[in-house]
Structure 1
């Protein structure tokens, strides 16, 4: 009778529901990043890419027919989140070295960088600036199964003022070329935000001050007026997008915070006023405090001009000191590395620096999990192992609350309930 009924449904064209894909993961321990509680002998159930249950295995049964994955001896955490990467950049191509390659070479590099990033345990990244819509190409390639990589929140082109950090200033005056991210004045900036949104940007990144790796800019000089920043932020927020402001200098940081930006990138010369403005507005600081070690050790060998290395020497220690001061003042922090300025896949090196400069291991882990999920506006999707979140899990040997450097050696990576890496 059942077979005749089943055949009748098929002949009538009725849809047969697909069986749910369910994975049940067990391990020695699970870290609840929201509370810091460690759960022994946990089980996490992932159905069709989302976590449906998580807790002690004794009280969290595996559904019938679920695939089992026993990660004996390992500790489970949510997939990590890096809020500041440039997947199509490579630090070894400093100065003019990148000009030796066709422009599409950057997207090809991005494929390799996406792979090492997810294998390092970073299942979500915010790509805050790329040429040629490379981040969109990578996102589409990953989402359609062509290449492995993290979930990408793309900014496409970073927006900036003529002659500023987001412009291209290092070539002779007679050179002419497209500069798709450049906009001046409130109306042009609003139009640029709309255009990038139309093209597929999910976050807006703009340059509020000069920077280390641009030519002819003072690292701390403000580059947009209050009216220009107000227009940019208002337009992005109206379109439902978050805003990230590249800002090293004090005045640029504070102007951006008054405009209502969601994250301050770098925040090198933030002061007490910056801290109060950030706490009042709810903005997050994304401070890449590992970079200095790599840039000063390898920059000259990588072709970085002395002008840029001098600016890094100006910024490095001060940024770390202000990170410590901001954390003590209660400013909210997220994990942003600026990977692409140093090698992709080494993102987790920054955890030790966060601890060295004042965070507990749990606080450092929270910057790359629950905090980052909130700052992205995706707290229900990423950054936690609670039911409803994407099935993004990493597994490490050892205790990350006792030694945060264990996050540099990821044994297993699961994204959307699918095993991406198993290096046990």
Structure 2
């Protein structure tokens, strides 16, 4: 039997996967740099946090509004083409933002409009990405491909923000945004090298509204999908706003400003280590394992709520990162193995929409709740709710018993047997 290192080399030796991996590497590196660069560029140019809030919101709203359409399009048309056009469009829009910043022509309206277009393009990219991987590798290699992609993704999350910070300090936000635009164009070139056979007969023979209804019907039909999706809707509701808004504030009160950066880095290291480990292990019930370790994500919230000092909070964030990586790999692989290929992007878009909708609600609610009850109490309550929501899906036999590589309990045909792939 070949060694694991040779298996990994063989996976990267597949031309389609190698081009996809390279394109994702450069694109994600640029995308991980962009938020830091854009935040400082807008703040430096406008001096207004209100402008920054408008720009961020302008990107999120169309992402939510067009996700379902993006899923239907990715199931209806060749996913390589969808990704190619979306990356080209993102390169152009980010290039426009960079041009405004580099020429000193900052204006809120054009920047917000370009951010809105970026959000629309993201809505088409996300479902297509999850659907195209099974077209690149055989189903028995999905459990190697997803951890490998996860390791790369998590590495860019660690490297990208730091690199962006250096560029912003040395040259300003414009060059960093310009680099992001270039990475989208390079990713498009890599996608253009893919050689795939796209067949989506079920989606192409129907109207768009009918296609959306079919996706919703499939999403509701597969019990383990909507059960886990509801769980993460609750998790995002209590976690994202608490972590992003209260996290820095409460950490500063207890341990000082510098501690928060170490906390975020520790979580990133945990993500990277586990994604590398997942490449080397085989788990029969991957979804069950993922849901079990999801509860580890509650630890940093509970540590915040308890007012623990930096070493304990850093350790909690590291452990949470270990669990989060398992969850992401387990979820992507389970969807790709068990959801029919011709509806995979639509089912994924309903899952993503349900999860993303909860984020702005939580972000808007956490401030008033902290004012009414105190930040430490809100963080503690969020940690408790997070833990309960994480393990609740394990009460369902469909979640506990979903195996590796076999048809899922509700009878869906494995993705790899429906077409030549997806994602």
Question: Larger strand proportion, structure 1 or 2?
Answer: 1
The structure with more radius of gyration: 1
Q: TM exceeds 0.5?
A: no
**Could you state the TM-score of these two structures normalised by the residue count of structure 1?**
0.22
**Could you state the TM-score of these two structures normalised by the residue count of structure 2?**
0.22
Q: Which has the higher contact order (CA 8 A, sep 6+)?
A: 2
Question: Larger helix proportion, structure 1 or 2?
Answer: 2
